[in-house]
Structure 1
């Protein structure tokens, strides 16, 4: 039997400023991909924020969600929103404007 409903779309977001080491980036991208698959999402892209160009990746991510009807953003933890302001406020703002959810791969987040 085939699925009659397509899987929901998601995008990932990582702030390089939140990383202790650059080597973490590959692991976090993999974690986001595995989380998306386990939760039944199709991951369109993972946006990585560079400290020198903040908030360019965030802006690109938001435009992508609007353009593609994405209602879910996956990130390692709420700390990855800190480069943009108060992370708790940013999460609430994103969820309000997406009409969706921000999910964290780190269950302690």
Structure 2
């Protein structure tokens, strides 16, 4: 319920995936997760889960991410940028294949950049 007693509109659920890089420190990871959460909030999405890929165990988190998206029928997934898919192959091909296989739309926080007045969300 909202403060005025009206039922809250349900937001579309989204999952996110990000890959740690070799020299990533905890504060940088936290900032990346915060940017994903901000982007989700600004675009009216509910960020329900963030899958973080560790270098040592790759692609374990990506595999869990795909399974969760399919099983939970998530229609939107978030990435900081397509570069987070680069170690799996050409990022645009991975994005296209992911969207075709899961039916989920891939958005990046870079999608928030707009040069139209009043359209930027970050």
Please indicate, yes or no, whether the TM-score normalized by the shorter chain is above 0.5.
Answer: yes
Pairs aligned (count):
106
Q: Offset of 1:99 from its aligned partner?
A: 1.5
Q: TM-score, normalised by structure 1?
A: 0.87
Partner of 2:102: 98
For the residue of structure 2 that corresponds to 1:21, the secondary structure is coil
| Alignment of 1:2 onto 2:7 | yes
> 58, 65, 73: which is aligned to 1:69?
73
Instruction: Please give the alpha-carbon distance, in whole angstroms, between the structure 2 residues aligned to 1:91 and 1:43.
Output: 19
Instruction: Please give the alpha-carbon distance, in whole angstroms, between the structure 1 residues aligned to 2:83 and 2:68.
Output: 22
Structure 1 segments (4+ residues) deviating >4 Å: none
**Structure ranking higher on relative contact order (CA contacts 8 Å, 6+ apart):** 1
CA contact (8 A) 2:69 2:104 kept: no
| Alignment of 1:80 onto 2:84 | yes
Instruction: Please give the alpha-carbon distance, in whole angstroms, between the structure 2 residues aligned to 1:21 and 1:68.
Output: 30
Q: Offset of 1:80 from its aligned partner?
A: 0.3
CA contact (8 A) 1:15 1:83 kept: no
Unaligned ranges ≥5, structure 1: none
Q: Over aligned residue pairs, what C-alpha RMSD do you find?
A: 1.7
Unaligned ranges ≥5, structure 2: 1-5, 114-122
For the residue of structure 2 that corresponds to 1:103, the secondary structure is strand
> Which of these two proteins has the greater Rg computed from alpha carbons?
2
